[in-house]
Amino acid sequence: MDRVAIIGSGSWGTGITALVSPHTETVCLWAREDEIARTICEEHRNPVYLKDVTLADNVIATTSMEEAVRGADAIILASPSAYLRPTVHLLAPFVDPDTPVLVLTKGIETPSHLLMHQVVAEEIGNPQRIAVLAGPNHAEEIAIGAVSASVIASDDQDIAAFFQNMLASSVFRAYTSDDVIGVEVCSAVKNVIAIACGIAAGEGAGDNTLAALMTRGLAEIGRMVSVLGGNPLTAMGLAGMGDLVVTCTSRHSRNRTFGEALVAGESLDEYQERTHMVVEGARACVSICELADAYGIEAPISRVVYAVLYDGLSIDEAIESLLGRVPNEEFYGYQKRNEAVS
């Protein structure tokens, strides 16, 4: 390929250049800030995100969306969920109607309850050319070539294969899927579970407690996937269990570390301002709880995270709420795919 455009110069946008740069003549990062674009072009590093990583010589940056996507063979979207729609809306006039698009953003839009690929499709059309990527792949490790794996999902398997080939390397294994809904729901809900795990860790919880939270969180993810029209088996793969484990346990996880910071007395706004990172789980739990209400999905962990963040529920009360639930069958609330919401 001649050119790949990456829209978003945060950690993920910056980190994924390590996978893209060997497969194309030029990688062009779009940045909001002049200083980030200038430093990437002049010094081959991002001065704000992944500051210690040296970018490949064929990585450039610009603050012009039109310039970023001009002549691009593919576009990768790496904006936080809160900014995805306005960003893609500004980008839309410059996007060729057939250019393949890969969405890295994880979340569920409020109040529309649309998944990220659906938001993108509303703004640029031709949903068949859109794919999503998810898995246990922290940008900090991708950028330095650590062995990683992900799943790329699209309704069009040729598009999934296109991006699979574009990102493939000896240290990055990409698998394909046609379950776009399942992959996206897994990506959104696991961030909420990670906040819960961070809270538990901050309270001094042991390994048993964290393991219980993760596995019951996985069951919660599976119920959401099943009822919303995905394949619950997806929750057992890279987008579900894989991403859940790394997000709930890693020091790189903003959702996990936010949960710990919350216990220590730091607010959501204070945490985001200090880290320059968006806590996607804090936003996603709003839509997740609204969807749970609309479709009768049991989501106890997501609900207590919401209550702690937005309703003033104390952490002690949240723990008591979860422990006071009567245990059910281990896997309940799943639907056959033809019974799920379309």
- Predicted confidence (pLDDT) at residue 336 exceeds the cutoff of 60: no
- Predicted confidence (pLDDT) at residue 335 exceeds the cutoff of 80: no
With CA atoms as reference, report the closest residue to 86 among 65, 62, 61, 113: 65
State phi, psi for 329 to the nearest 5 degrees.
Answer: -60, 155
Measured distance CA(5)–CA(329) in Å, rounded: 47
| Integer CA distances (angstroms), 267 to 11, 72, 107, 288, in order | 22, 40, 21, 21
pLDDT of residue 87: 98
Query: Coil, helix or strand for 50?
Result: coil
As annotated, the active-site residues are 190
- Predicted confidence (pLDDT) at residue 107 exceeds the cutoff of 70: yes
- Region 250-271: mean pLDDT is 95
- Region 80-91: mean pLDDT is 96
Q: Residue 111: is the preceding peptide bond cis (ω within 30°)?
A: yes
Average pLDDT, the chain: 95
pLDDT of residue 331: 81
pLDDT of residue 295: 95
pTM score: 0.93
For the stretch 136-175, pLDDT in tens is: 999 999 999 999 999 999 999 999 999 999 999 999 999 9
> What are the structural domains, with CATH classification, of the chain?
3-178 (3.40.50.720), 181-339 (1.10.1040.10)
pLDDT of residue 327: 86
pLDDT band at residue 339 under the 50/70/90 scheme? low
- 259 with 196: CB under 8 angstroms? yes
- Region 229-236: mean pLDDT is 95
Question: Residues with Cβ < 8 Å from 225, sequence gap 6 or more?
Answer: 181, 182, 185, 186, 231, 232, 234, 235, 240
- Region 312-328: mean pLDDT is 90
Measured distance CA(100)–CA(108) in Å, rounded: 22
pLDDT of residue 340: 55
